[in-house]
A and B are shown apart, each in its own frame.
Chain A
Amino acid sequence: MGGHALMKPILLVEDNPNDRLLMERAFRKSNLQNDLVTVNDGEEALRYLFGSDDTEPQELPVLVLLDLKLPKIDGLQVLQRIRDNSRTEMLPVVVLTSSKEQDDLVQSYKLRVNSYVRKPVDFNEFVEVVQQLGLYWLILNESPLK
């Protein structure tokens, strides 16, 4: 694994298998080279990022795509833990969710989310969103993380 942003994985935190499948499909269609690592819930996301009693933390992803409504530990809690940890506090996190509730938006921004994007119903629009996110976060944006 190289250190180049283009080669680092993108972490997708998503519990809905349909959405995971569609995301993977959209990801392929948008010609992104990075690995898409998928975890099913908040607990798995934290284990991936911070490790557990018997596992080491994985290499930091270049970007976290985070659903909010997750079983066990929800998206806002995951975001909170990411921001509270010095190793991950500057990690770009994009909330990718169905909800556009004002509360969710405000809470996410209070926890210094980098973007808040609502999943469109239409798949073509969905593909477009993924492409734009990839273009922006993987290519245009400069990250402080090496």
Chain B
Amino acid sequence: MNEADRKLQGNEALFNSLLHAAPHAIIIINADGIIEVVNHRATEFFGYSEDELLGAPLEMLVPESLRNKHVTHRQEYFETPRSRPMGKGYDLVGRRKDGTEFPIAVGLGYTRLNDHLSGIAFITDITERKEFERAFTQSQEQYRTTFEQAAIGIIHTNVDGDFTRVNPHICELLGYTRDEMLQMSVMGLTHPDDRPTTNTARERILQGKATSYTLEKRIRHHDGQWIWVNTTASILRDPDGNEMGFIKVIEDIRERRFLEDELRRLNSDLENRIQERTAHLTALNQELEAFSYSVSHDLRAPLRAVNGFSQALEEDYYDQLDDIGRDFLLRIRRESQRMGQLIDDLISLSRLSRSEMTFQQVNLSKIARTIIENLRQNDDNRDVTVTIQPEMEAWADAALIRVVMENLIGNAWKFTGKRDDPTIEIATTQQDDNIVYYVRDNGAGFDMAYVDKLFGAFQRLHAMTEFEGTGIGLATVQRIIHRHSGIVWAEGAVNQGATFYFTLGEENTWEDTHS
């Protein structure tokens, strides 16, 4: 092999390497469109073998509908051949052996081979690019539609807050044309009072402390009125992380603000009304105070006179009265005493309703024991069996709860007076989550038909001659229990005893004391 042959051989090897290693399909044709050279990529792209392609017309690789046009283009090219880069405005379609078509970009060159002009086509499969472009266009179009049609205001701004793009909704909301709006900026439309918060939120984003913010603020309508909006702003960055601007979504919240204002106004009205009512109640309370003062003072004085002068009459004019007359005087004195007691009870009932309450942990067992001891001391002759559950605790006003216990235990003591085997039980039981305190006796009891009369002031279910009392005790008990947010009720039967139950509100649940 001579020098020239070796050189030629080397060139051919280089040519083959370039031809087959290229990422493009390369097809060389003559002026008649007959394929002279193809590389591997070309066989891959089009699905033909090299043998099938060599000597075949190029138009075999063009969709049938475009073949005639392609022939014309090819002929024109051969008349004035020139190189041109790939794909520039020449996105074309290729046809595979199986008839399927695919988008291609084609770059053209030419050379003189074996004394005739040959055209070289560099072909790229641009299926993926086309797919991406389509998706991109679709996404663009979707955003554009969303932007234009949204029933919410959308504004794009630059980093300084100047509007760069506005949608029809925001224009309509604010009464400006698109062109007018594009002359404006965020701060320019924001209510002066809302500018500091807007600015702070914006700064936080620019400092990288947040990627978006939501604010309720007022922005100015074309006609000068302020519109309450909820605005959400998100930073827009390029792939390198540089701020490009903001996208702001603006929602008209006038209706909500109106309702909120209305609610606030109603609340404040209500508060005013409560204050008025409270003032009224305070005044009533003061009147009541004056009333009970005058009752306690003024009603007792004449009673004292009635009582005192009846006694004086009895003492000084004893001889001039017969038994009936003396009996009348006795009745007058007894009733005046009873009326004095009634007045005292009534006053203490009204005082109980008004007094300040001081809540503390109270040992009811201890109180019950003290009350029973006092009753025993004052009533030596009675032998009453008393059981008191130990360590009964309550969160209550100590003075008031003592009054409750005195009344209930006092009643039990009184109404067992005619029993041979009087017993009193003071204990607790559970009902749902509540502690229920109760005082049970086996005394005179009462008819359940009258149970609703038990707690009324001056209501008595027993004749005066049977059991003493003014009928204030249970009314007092009920008043105090109610002031503790508790309830009181009773069960009983005539001559079979009575049980009085009470609760003391949320502070006294079974859980608290038994867990």
Instruction: Point out residues on A near B: beta carbons under 8 Å.
Output: 16, 18-19, 22, 25, 69, 97-101, 119-124, 126
Contacts and interface: CB of A to CB of B under 8 A. Distances in A.
A29 to B, nearest CB: 9
Nearest to B341: A121
A101 B308 contact: no
A121 B307 contact: yes
A22 B296 contact: no
A19 B304 contact: yes
B293 A101 contact: yes
A16 B301 CA distance: 8
A98 B300 contact: yes
B308 A25 contact: yes
Interface in B268-313: 293, 296-298, 300-305, 307-312
26 contacts: A16-B301, A16-B305, A18-B301, A18-B304, A18-B308, A18-B309, A19-B301, A22-B304, A22-B305, A22-B308, A22-B309, A22-B312, A69-B297, A97-B297, A98-B296, A101-B293, A121-B300, A121-B307, A121-B336, A122-B307, A122-B336, A122-B340, A123-B307, A123-B308, A123-B312, A126-B304
Given A99-B297, A101-B296, A122 B333 contact: yes
Given A97-B297, A99-B296, A101-B296, A121 B309 contact: no
Interface in B118-171: none
B111 interface: no
A138 B58 CA distance: 148
Contacts of B302: 18
B337 interface: yes
A121 B303 contact: yes
Contacts of A119: 300, 304
Contacts of A99: 293, 296-297
Nearest to B347: A100
Contacts of B337: 121-122
A84 to B, nearest CB: 26
Contacts, number: 59
A129 to B, nearest CB: 12
Nearest to A29: B315
SS class, residues of chain B in contact with chain A: helix
Across the A-B interface, give the 4 residue pairs with the lowest CB-CB distance, nearest first: A121-B340, A18-B305, A123-B308, A22-B308
Interface of B: 293, 296-298, 300-305, 307-312, 333, 336-337, 339-340
A99 B294 CA distance: 8
A126 B296 contact: no
B175 to A, nearest CB: 68
Interface centre among B296, B304, B311 (most CB of A within 10 A): B304
A19 B305 contact: yes
Contacts of B300: 98, 119, 121
A16 B305 CA distance: 10
Given A18-B302, A98-B304, A122-B337, 7 more contacts: A16-B305, A22-B308, A121-B304, A121-B307, A123-B311, A123-B333, A126-B308
Nearest to B338: A121
Nearest to B312: A25
A121 B305 CA distance: 8
B300 to A, nearest CB: 4
A101 B336 CA distance: 21
Contacts of B301: 16, 18-19, 98
Contacts of A16: 301, 305
A103 to B, nearest CB: 8
Contacts of B336: 121-122
Interface centre among B301, B309, B339 (most CB of A within 10 A): B301
B356 to A, nearest CB: 12
Contacts of B297: 69, 97-99
Contacts of A22: 304-305, 308-309, 312
Contacts of B305: 16, 18-19, 22
